[in-house]
Chain A
Amino acid sequence: MSTATTTDAPRTTSFSGPSTFTGRAANYIDERTSISAVVREFGRKIFPDHWSFLLGEVALYSFIVILISGTFLTFFFQASMAEVQYNGAYVPLKGMNMSVALQSTLDISYEVRGGLLMRQIHHWAALLFIAAMGLHMLRIFFTGAFRKPRELNWVVGFTLFILGMAEGFTGYSLPDDLLSGNGLRIIDGMIEGIPIVGTWLSFLLFGGEFPGSDIVGRLYSLHIMILPAMVILFIAIHLVFVVVHMHTQYPGPGKTNRNVVGYPILPVYAAKAGGFFFVVFGVIALIATFFQINPIWNYGPYDPSPVSAGTQPDWYIGFADGMLRLIPSHLETVWFGYTFTWYIIIPVAILGLFIVLVAVYPFIESWVTGDKREHHVLDRPRNAPTRTAIGVAGVVFYAVMWAAASSDLIATHFMLTIEGVIITLQVLLVIGPIIGYWVTKRVCLALQRKDRSLALHGYESGRIVRLPGGEYIEVHKPLDEYERWRLVSYESYAPLMLRPDRSGRITFANRLRVGMSRWFFEDRIAPVTRAELEAGHGDHGAHGAPGELEGGHDGDHGLPPAAH
């Protein structure tokens, strides 16, 4: 007689059940969780394999490391600004008054076995987390992985980047040391400069005057509860999207927009990705074992009077600090008795605009191309020259601001004047992105031409042959069909043409759209077609001489006559 569940469907009483322990365990769990459905759906799910796909994993794994090490720290850190006299092992601070927050951080470092290691793992992992997100974002951008259907995921990911920065900032301000305290002072100064609401916002944030005795506790709530909850939520959304959309793949033979080529989760990915988690954790642990980070004992307790030379925020806040340094002097006006602090408003506006542009870029590009198809095959960056050039311009812009944050260290290390460094960076902020854009675009187009030439003529084999006529040529080894497919399988866009709409008018939005489309796609190189390859195969040996190229092939472009 069966003692199993009393469902309506008759149970097969002849079923003897699994005989191994694993079998019995699996059965037990499945009968309570439907886990077999998950295994069926995801167990052999295919993921494509490329090193650049692991950057997002680096970010995810460093976040897990942060959570683990951070949990340990919460057992020892106390986020209170109450005053206490230090009497621990770090002799130069003995007898000094400081906040409990700093004292508990010093105790973690000097009184708890392995405590300093955990602090260092936590901080190094935080630096790596945001760096990995940045690299991952760059990979997504330069390969066009943000295109439909992944535009929303781009926004989610970008939000994660901002949240990561917020986590980092609130985190390193917790010990209430001189360095991070001056960082908070700067934030307070910036908030005070906001028109109309600045003084009140500053008052709300700090619970009164700066520095007050509330800020560390409030940052702690943000740092261990509110922000991590948001990060975890957004990571979950991000990963659900990846599962629903399936991962993108690089162009290559056999890889189309309608399939996924790669390896299954079980066992390969579980091992590789699971192993990679341990590797990332291990690398962070190794760095934290050998390299000191944020030695708060050198800085001492926050006091409004002292300050250290070389006061910088952690690297990911650098671009904001650098932007502040690049603003010229005297930018403030008083109108009707009210003070407009342009030296705050302008950098905040520029940075805000930059951030918004990055966040909405996928929508801008899809508007310009009008492309409403799903894209699951990535672009090689050279095949999207304008996008790649825009990306490089953005990176240069960010990098100049970031470099400006260490202007004083650049000056001392390269024996320059800080004035010279800052003026140079001010100039570079404007012309750097322009130069970066132009150079990148030309490089991309040149690389595309090189690809065309490779597809048409093959590799230089290094074998020199003398023809009966006396000339020397280098024999080219033609590509096999797999290599060639990789070079020719991209799409080329053409600029839109302006036409009146249904009511016969040409609106500004349309003009703008066509203008941008022209900017994006006017310079383009079309992929090699079979006909072109045939046409070039007249005589096998004679493809080395550059002169012969021009006649047989329609300038290097293969362009249809351009529309104007």
Chain B
Amino acid sequence: MAEDAHSDESTAVAPAHGSEHSVASVDVGLAVVPAPEDAFQDPGLPPHHLRVTDTNPRRQRRAQRTVFSLFYLSIAGSIFAVAAYMAFPIEDGSFTAIRINNLFIGLGIALALLGLGFGAVHWAKALMGDHELTDPRHPVRGSEETRARSIEIFQQANEESGFGRRTLIRNTLIGALIAFPLPAVAMLRGLAPQNQDPVALLKETMWDKGVRLVRDPLGTPIKASDVTLGSVFHVIPDGLNKLPHDEMLNAKAKAIVLLVRMDPSELHETPERKSWSYDGIVAYSKVCTHVGCPVALYEQQTHHLLCPCHQSQFDISNGAAVIFGPAARPLPQLPIAVDDEGYLVAQSDFTEPVGPSFWERDKA
């Protein structure tokens, strides 16, 4: 038949042999086993069954009544929704009023829509003709005549324009078409600021020598004696809250710190970092080194710090080493000390970039 008139050119693979069915010609598709001669034949459409609404006029009238009742309900729903909009104000700000308003407008709208929908479907199912009809399908490919005419059209256009012949015209056209979007692409560079280096920015935070540790979000400084065993403070650098808004959140995204105190005997520190803590008080970056969520679920007895986003776990008693989850690096530690008034201060910025890893992270 017309639709499968493709001959397959490769003879490298062939249908399975050894079957008692004859191997059909390759134009049927290579892996298909053609139907055996004694296969069943299509019996045609099954007989049509009448519906109860076709045979019983009373049921038909009932179905009609159902349909227009549903449409009436739909109208009622729409009107109700409009009425509810007007009748249930929310301007006093009470949550109950807002709930009632949305509830009744929503009920009205839902009734209007469902009434319409169920009515139309019931009309179709119960009352409209339900004889199955048949239409022929035509192959998707155009007829031979159409295809021939298309080819002819292209050939004519080619001749008249010389597109195929005039290769220099053609090639330079293609070149121009490829080139013309390039300025647009280049202008997308403007999405990022022109005079900032992202790598340099990622490698520094607001922390610096002498910057006080203050409470997040209130901004009050923290004395070492305020921090009891087992407590956790959420910390930002002093001065962060005074930054203009755009800068504040950007700085905060790198500068958030978690401050905990544990018994010094439980704290395992490398010799180089012994001076980074103060009497069992340690400070670590709160930006998860996985993909950057605030890692803040501190368990005071186990000293585990859990990130809620992807469940990375860090051991705060052991340099915030990764003990579970997809993170790869320990949290950077903020070296802290106490100033002469007893307030906790940073000794310097973090000694490594905070937050998720990036390509240039370890490059000087």
Let me know if chains A and B touch directly in the complex, using CB atoms closer than 8 Å: yes
Are B357 and A341 touching (Cβ within 8 A)? Answer: yes
Closest to A530 in B: B38
Chain A 24-38 near chain B by CB (<8 Å), digits 1 or 0: 000000000000000
A-side contacts of B355, CB under 8 Å: 189, 192
Residue B182 lies at the interface, judged by CB distance under 8 Å to chain A = no
Are B32 and A371 touching (Cβ within 8 A)? Answer: yes
Residue A299 lies at the interface, judged by CB distance under 8 Å to chain B = no
* Assembled-state Cα–Cα distance A526/B36 (Å): 10
On chain A, the number of residues with a Cβ less than 8 Å from chain B's Cβ atoms is 154
The list of the 4 closest CB pairs from A to B, nearest first, reads A189-B291, A289-B106, A275-B120, A278-B117
Residue B165 lies at the interface, judged by CB distance under 8 Å to chain A = no
* Assembled-state Cα–Cα distance A308/B308 (Å): 7
Are A338 and B328 touching (Cβ within 8 A)? Answer: no
Give B127 Cβ to nearest chain A Cβ, in Å: 9
* Assembled-state Cα–Cα distance A390/B329 (Å): 37
Give B48 Cβ to nearest chain A Cβ, in Å: 11
Residue A261 lies at the interface, judged by CB distance under 8 Å to chain B = yes
B-side contacts of A282, CB under 8 Å: 109-114, 116-117
Closest to A520 in B: B31
Interface residue stretch chosen among B58-66, B186-194, B270-278: B186-194
Are A329 and B324 touching (Cβ within 8 A)? Answer: yes
Give B182 Cβ to nearest chain A Cβ, in Å: 17
Are B106 and A485 touching (Cβ within 8 A)? Answer: no
Give A441 Cβ to nearest chain B Cβ, in Å: 18
Are B245 and A97 touching (Cβ within 8 A)? Answer: yes
* Assembled-state Cα–Cα distance A275/B70 (Å): 12
Give A334 Cβ to nearest chain B Cβ, in Å: 5
Are B137 and A492 touching (Cβ within 8 A)? Answer: no
Residue B166 lies at the interface, judged by CB distance under 8 Å to chain A = no
B-side contacts of A307, CB under 8 Å: 293-294, 296, 308-309
Chain B 62-100 near chain A by CB (<8 Å), digits 1 or 0: 000000000000000000000001001111010000100
Residue A548 lies at the interface, judged by CB distance under 8 Å to chain B = no
Are B328 and A329 touching (Cβ within 8 A)? Answer: yes
Closest to B234 in A: A305
CB < 8 Å neighbour of B101 from A113, A212, A507: A113
Residue A186 lies at the interface, judged by CB distance under 8 Å to chain B = yes
* Assembled-state Cα–Cα distance A249/B4 (Å): 19
A-side contacts of B202, CB under 8 Å: 192, 199, 209
Give B220 Cβ to nearest chain A Cβ, in Å: 15
CB < 8 Å neighbour of A260 from B21, B134, B140: B134
Given known pairs A199-B359, A279-B117, A372-B6, the reply for A207 and B192 (CB within 8 Å) is yes
Given known pairs A279-B114, A289-B107, A529-B40, the reply for A306 and B294 (CB within 8 Å) is yes
Residue B43 lies at the interface, judged by CB distance under 8 Å to chain A = yes
CB < 8 Å neighbour of B356 from A189, A372, A497, A527: A189
Are A311 and B128 touching (Cβ within 8 A)? Answer: no
* Assembled-state Cα–Cα distance A326/B310 (Å): 8
Give B236 Cβ to nearest chain A Cβ, in Å: 7
Are A193 and B358 touching (Cβ within 8 A)? Answer: yes
Given known pairs A253-B46, A268-B129, A485-B40, the reply for A285 and B116 (CB within 8 Å) is no
* Assembled-state Cα–Cα distance A402/B71 (Å): 42
* Assembled-state Cα–Cα distance A528/B136 (Å): 28
CB < 8 Å neighbour of A199 from B40, B193, B246, B360: B360
Given known pairs A208-B250, A304-B256, A494-B15, the reply for A263 and B130 (CB within 8 Å) is yes
Residue B102 lies at the interface, judged by CB distance under 8 Å to chain A = yes
Residue A356 lies at the interface, judged by CB distance under 8 Å to chain B = no
Give B42 Cβ to nearest chain A Cβ, in Å: 6
Are B110 and A289 touching (Cβ within 8 A)? Answer: yes
Are B12 and A507 touching (Cβ within 8 A)? Answer: yes
A-side contacts of B191, CB under 8 Å: 204-205, 207, 214, 218
Are A208 and B234 touching (Cβ within 8 A)? Answer: no
Give A239 Cβ to nearest chain B Cβ, in Å: 16
Give B107 Cβ to nearest chain A Cβ, in Å: 6
Given known pairs A182-B309, A305-B216, A497-B14, the reply for A113 and B3 (CB within 8 Å) is no
* Assembled-state Cα–Cα distance A186/B309 (Å): 9
If A260-B135, A285-B106 are given as contacts, then 7 extra A-B residue pairs at C-beta distance below 8 Å, sorted by A number, are: A113-B101, A213-B246, A263-B130, A279-B117, A311-B293, A370-B8, A517-B31
Please report which residues of chain A, range 271-323, place their CB below 8 angstroms from some CB of chain B when the two chains form the complex: 271-272, 274-283, 285-286, 288-290, 302-311, 321
Are B310 and A499 touching (Cβ within 8 A)? Answer: no
* Assembled-state Cα–Cα distance A374/B29 (Å): 11
Given known pairs A193-B291, A200-B198, the reply for A496 and B44 (CB within 8 Å) is no
Are A497 and B128 touching (Cβ within 8 A)? Answer: no
CB < 8 Å neighbour of A526 from B11, B33, B110: B33
Residue A521 lies at the interface, judged by CB distance under 8 Å to chain B = yes
Residue A211 lies at the interface, judged by CB distance under 8 Å to chain B = yes
A-B contact pairs, 22 of them (CB 8 A): A113-B89, A182-B309, A189-B291, A190-B291, A199-B199, A204-B191, A208-B192, A253-B46, A261-B45, A275-B124, A281-B117, A282-B110, A289-B110, A311-B308, A325-B310, A337-B362, A369-B30, A407-B311, A491-B32, A494-B16, A497-B15, A507-B12
Closest to B27 in A: A372
CB < 8 Å neighbour of A372 from B12, B29, B297, B310: B29
Give A109 Cβ to nearest chain B Cβ, in Å: 8
Are A204 and B192 touching (Cβ within 8 A)? Answer: yes
Residue B118 lies at the interface, judged by CB distance under 8 Å to chain A = yes
Are B40 and A484 touching (Cβ within 8 A)? Answer: yes
Are B45 and A253 touching (Cβ within 8 A)? Answer: yes
